[in-house]
């Protein structure tokens, strides 16, 4: 696709997504095997959908069924070694349906190991298996066999879906648990006996059947499914059309459309690559036609799309796990994420605007813009599902109940039409569910009326109806999107088990703070004269600790999914940051944001590579553009660690005056950094003034009037020169 600027076809987009989203690159199987796997995927989706609305089975059964589905689908669709030939259909006596016999055997072993826990939970007398309570820490031989099998297979499905990096990191943690005495210094520990290790990894509460798998199987899967259904039934196109109307006619219109549409799309998609491909198919070719360089056009889309995992209300999987770790409601996480997400998009939007001014790029013509009336006349019904989901979520119900209602309304909006009486079965079934919930006190009258009204209103959707085969395909796609995050959640549970068993999180946290404290003490002399000190040792220790953790997030994020990276690093960073007095929600958000930054940081930046494929540009150069465009996301975590009020939390209670001042300072810092990156504010900016603006932008992030005065002093020469240059340009004109 090099050098072209046409709008990619659906086939080209599917190929790009499969290439750069490892979770979508699947093996081709035979017709019969394909039908069987489609049936498994649909049963898998239907099981999660129904249990979300009606009742969850016991955790050991629920997570066992989820793991069983993962084993079947991953071993059927993901080859042991991913090559071009292994993804093609290769039937034969050793590969019935195109699936090698060894994968079928591993599939069966995985299902047995996943379901054994529920089968033996209350004991099996004829096999001599005691109740699970009596086997904790003292597993029998059956537990050991199935425990070893599931540990190995969970690592294998994580490797098949996500590559080698995550399993290798997990193996390091496992080695640490088993061979503790050989580690030096503060990391040394007595070691964990092998039987105890297998018991900890296999039995619920920690390890594989711990909080991460529970959250993914109970909450994340449903939101992934909702996002795919909402996008396929028209909500994604509604977002893009409205973003085009809002921003298309202004300076650098298509690029601003990319930012706005990605922000909208991020509310329903937690996948950066899916976001990039969906919105970039339209925005990247338009940006190139307008005159943006290909690498910059791809970078804009990648940077904006990476915000999908941090954009409320439907953030990535890590946000749900964060709520469980912090033991707070998901709405608390959503509220805390509002300003940081806004700061990210302000940064990308500012760079886009300044670059357009610098290149003198105009907006889209009126003829190219969609018509507001036509867009809303055709697409209004697509808002009903997300409104229903948010209403249920913010009314205090569980996230999976809100997802159930959102999916139900999306099915109605997509498949039911008032002119086709047979399709009334969809709203009738959901209304019956709502009335049943009302009758047993599950829903109040207001909720019942809103959901009922939404169900009736959705049948008047003027768009083309989604057929049952199309909806089945959408459900199947939603399941495929969830396989990689499911495999990662099961595998990374091993890391949590090791951390809980060995206490390595506190050990590493102590090492980080100790190293930062020593370095801070050494540097303190550079920032003090006599009794006057610009920064205290405590301030320097905190800053250095944050830099260490941020670098660890970015470096470890090369090839590790954001969710898995967040879980591993927050287990290490939380003890360190807690020792420095950082509120838990700020430290968790800090790690999450830098995990997302890793997605647009070269050399491994899958979102940027996907955007580069659409733009026909150099992938590495596109990654550099994406990183510089995402500077708002780079500095935002520093801002809310120093000023937790930006997350709407504060030890002294929320204060609007403090929030307004701090937010203004952070936005000023992002704008100054953006001007430094582009080399333009009111007029072209020389290198010296760019450096001054960049330094000032970093200082602005520190939330104090002293820092703001210092930042103003640093950037004042650049501001004055820009005003004078702008005046000369106007006088010459």
CB 340 within 8 A of CB 663: no
Q: What is the widest separation between alpha-carbon atoms in the chain?
A: 95
- pLDDT above 60 for 23: no
DSSP 45-56: HHHHHHHHHS-P
Q: Is residue 461 within a helix (H) or strand (E), and if so which, with residue range?
A: none
pLDDT at 269: 64
- pLDDT above 90 for 318: no
C-alpha to C-alpha distance for 119 and 132, rounded to whole angstroms: 10
Tell me how far CA of residue 567 lies from CA of 126, 496, 573, in angstroms: 40, 8, 10
Q: Which position has the token pair 């605007």? A: 353
CB 260 within 8 A of CB 246: yes
Cis peptide leading into residue 603 (ω within 30°): yes
pLDDT band at 594 (very low <50, low <70, confident <90, very high): confident
- pLDDT above 60 for 5: no
pLDDT at 729: 67
CB 245 within 8 A of CB 375: yes
CB 110 within 8 A of CB 165: no
Least confident of 181-185, 534-538, 675-679: 534-538
C-alpha to C-alpha distance for 671 and 347, rounded to whole angstroms: 7
- Residue 3 token pair: 């050098």
Query: What are the phi and psi torsion angles at 83 (to 5°)?
Result: -130, 170
Closest CA to 107 of 60, 57, 67: 67
pLDDT band at 4 (very low <50, low <70, confident <90, very high): very low
Angle, helix 330-359 to helix 317-326, in steps of 10 degrees: 140
pLDDT at 24: 62
Q: Residue 12 burial (CB < 10 Å; 0-12/13-18/19+)? A: middle
C-alpha to C-alpha distance for 212 and 318, rounded to whole angstroms: 9
DSSP code at position 216: I
- pLDDT above 60 for 22: no
Closest CA to 192 of 205, 207, 209, 212: 207
CB 633 within 8 A of CB 644: no
DSSP 463-483: SPPPPHHHHHHHHHHHHHHHH
CB 698 within 8 A of CB 664: no
Q: How many CB atoms lie within 10 A of CB 603?
A: 9
Query: What are the phi and psi torsion angles at 95 (to 5°)?
Result: -140, 70
pLDDT band at 11 (very low <50, low <70, confident <90, very high): low
Closest CA to 393 of 270, 222, 551: 222
C-alpha to C-alpha distance for 337 and 392, rounded to whole angstroms: 19
pLDDT tens per residue, range 92-108 = 788 888 899 999 999 99
DSSP code at position 391: H
- pLDDT above 50 for 189: yes
Q: How many CB atoms lie within 10 A of CB 241?
A: 24
pLDDT tens per residue, range 684-723 = 888 899 999 888 888 887 777 777 888 889 989 988 988 8
Tell me how far CA of residue 57 lies from CA of 1, 47, 49, 104, 174, in angstroms: 49, 11, 13, 27, 30
pLDDT at 2: 43
pLDDT tens per residue, range 624-667 = 888 877 776 677 788 888 888 888 876 556 678 888 888 888 88
Least confident of 48-52, 90-94, 334-338, 720-724: 90-94
DSSP 572-591: HHHHHHHHTT--HHHHHHHH
- Residue 674 token pair: 């953006």
Closest CA to 597 of 573, 564, 562, 644: 562
- Average pLDDT score over the chain: 85
pLDDT band at 369 (very low <50, low <70, confident <90, very high): confident
pLDDT tens per residue, range 126-166 = 888 888 888 888 899 999 999 999 999 999 999 998 888 88
- Residue 351 token pair: 């760079």
pLDDT tens per residue, range 226-275 = 888 888 888 878 888 888 888 877 877 777 887 787 777 766 765 677 77
C-alpha to C-alpha distance for 488 and 224, rounded to whole angstroms: 15
- Residue 522 token pair: 């050494």
C-alpha to C-alpha distance for 195 and 501, rounded to whole angstroms: 13
C-alpha to C-alpha distance for 674 and 426, rounded to whole angstroms: 49
Closest CA to 568 of 583, 579, 558, 557: 557
CB 247 within 8 A of CB 396: no
Of the ranges 2-6, 34-38, 519-523, the best mean pLDDT one: 34-38
C-alpha to C-alpha distance for 461 and 376, rounded to whole angstroms: 11
Q: How many CB atoms lie within 10 A of CB 188?
A: 12
Closest CA to 222 of 326, 334, 337, 66: 66
- pLDDT above 80 for 558: no
Closest CA to 312 of 336, 329, 328: 336
C-alpha to C-alpha distance for 319 and 321, rounded to whole angstroms: 5
**More confident: 606 or 669:** 669
- pLDDT above 80 for 187: yes
DSSP code at position 371: P
């Amino acid at each position: 696709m090099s050098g072209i600027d046409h709008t990619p076809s659906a086939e080209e987009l599917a190929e790009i997504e499969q290439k750069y989203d490892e979770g979508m690159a699947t093996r081709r199987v035979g017709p019969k095997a394909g039908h069987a796997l489609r049936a498994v995927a649909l049963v898998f989706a239907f099981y999660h959908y129904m249990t979300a609305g009606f009742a969850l089975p016991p955790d050991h059964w629920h997570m066992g069924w989820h793991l069983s589905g993962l084993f079947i689908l991953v071993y059927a669709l993901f080859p042991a070694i991913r090559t071009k030939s292994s993804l093609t259909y290769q039937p034969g006596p050793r590969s019935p349906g195109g699936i090698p016999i060894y994968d079928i055997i591993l599939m069966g072993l995985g299902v047995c190991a996943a379901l054994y826990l529920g089968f033996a939970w209350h004991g099996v007398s004829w096999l001599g298996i005691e109740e699970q309570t009596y086997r904790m820490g003292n597993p029998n031989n059956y537990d050991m066999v199935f425990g070893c099998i599931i540990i190995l297979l969970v690592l294998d499905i994580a490797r098949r879906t996500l590559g080698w990096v995550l399993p290798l990191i997990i193996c390091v943690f496992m080695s640490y648990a088993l061979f503790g005495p050989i580690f030096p210094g503060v990391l040394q520990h007595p070691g964990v006996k092998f039987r105890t290790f297998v018991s900890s990894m296999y039995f619920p509460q920690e390890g594989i059947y711990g909080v991460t798998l529970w959250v993914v199987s109970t909450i994340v899967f449903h939101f992934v499914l909702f996002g795919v259904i909402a996008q396929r039934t028209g909500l994604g196109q509604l977002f893009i059309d409205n973003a085009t109307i809002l921003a298309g006619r202004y300076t650098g219109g298509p690029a601003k459309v990319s930012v706005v549409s990605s922000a909208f799309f991020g509310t329903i998609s937690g996948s950066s690559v899916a976001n990039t491909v969906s919105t970039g198919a339209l925005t990247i070719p338009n940006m190139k036609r307008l005159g943006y360089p290909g690498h910059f056009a791809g970078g804009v889309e990648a940077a904006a799309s990476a915000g999908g995992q941090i954009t409320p209300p439907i953030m990535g999987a890590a946000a749900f796990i964060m709520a469980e770790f912090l033991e707070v409601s998901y709405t608390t996480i959503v509220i805390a994420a509002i300003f940081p997400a806004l700061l990210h998009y302000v940064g990308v939007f500012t760079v886009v605007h300044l670059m357009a001014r610098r290149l003198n790029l105009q907006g889209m013509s009126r003829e190219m813009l969609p018509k507001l009336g036509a867009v809303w006349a055709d697409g209004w019904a697509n808002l009903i599902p997300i409104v229903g989901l948010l209403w249920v979520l913010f009314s205090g119900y569980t996230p999976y109940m809100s997802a159930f209602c959102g999916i139900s309304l999306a099915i109605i909006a997509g498949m039911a039409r008032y002119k086709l009486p047979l399709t009334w079965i969809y709203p009738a079934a959901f209304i019956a569910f709502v009335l049943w919930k009302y009758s047993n006190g599950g829903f109040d009258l207001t909720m019942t009326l809103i959901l009922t009204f939404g169900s009736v209103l959705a049948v008047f959707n003027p768009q083309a109806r989604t057929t049952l085969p199309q909806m089945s395909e959408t459900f199947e796609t939603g399941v495929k999107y969830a396989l990689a995050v499911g495999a990662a959640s099961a595998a990374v549970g091993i890391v949590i088990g090791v951390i809980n068993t060995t206490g390595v999180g506190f050990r590493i946290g102590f090492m980080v703070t100790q190293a930062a404290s020593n370095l801070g003490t050494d540097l303190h002399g550079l920032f003090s004269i006599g009794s006057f000190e610009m920064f205290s040792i405590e301030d320097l220790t905190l800053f250095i600790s944050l830099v260490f953790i941020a670098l660890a997030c970015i470096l470890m994020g090369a090839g590790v999914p954001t969710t898995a990276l967040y879980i591993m690093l927050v287990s290490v960073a939380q003890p360190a940051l807690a020792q420095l007095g950082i509120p838990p929600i700020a430290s968790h958000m800090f790690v999450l944001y830098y995990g997302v930054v890793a997605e647009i940081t070269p050399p491994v930046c899958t979102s940027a590579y996907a955007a580069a494929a659409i733009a026909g540009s150099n992938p590495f150069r596109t990654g550099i553009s994406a990183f510089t465009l995402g500077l708002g996301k780079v500095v935002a975590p520093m801002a809310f660690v120093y000023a937790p009020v930006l997350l709407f939390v504060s030890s002294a209670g929320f204060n609007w005056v403090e929030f307004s001042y701090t937010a203004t300072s952070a936005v000023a810092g992002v704008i100054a950094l953006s001007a430094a990156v582009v080399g333009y504010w009111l007029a072209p900016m020389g290198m010296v003034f760019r450096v001054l603006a960049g330094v000032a932008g970093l200082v602005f992030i520190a939330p104090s009037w002293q820092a703001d005065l210092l930042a103003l002093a640093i950037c004042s020469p650049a501001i004055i020169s820009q005003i004078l240059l702008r005046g000369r340009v106007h006088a010459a004109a």
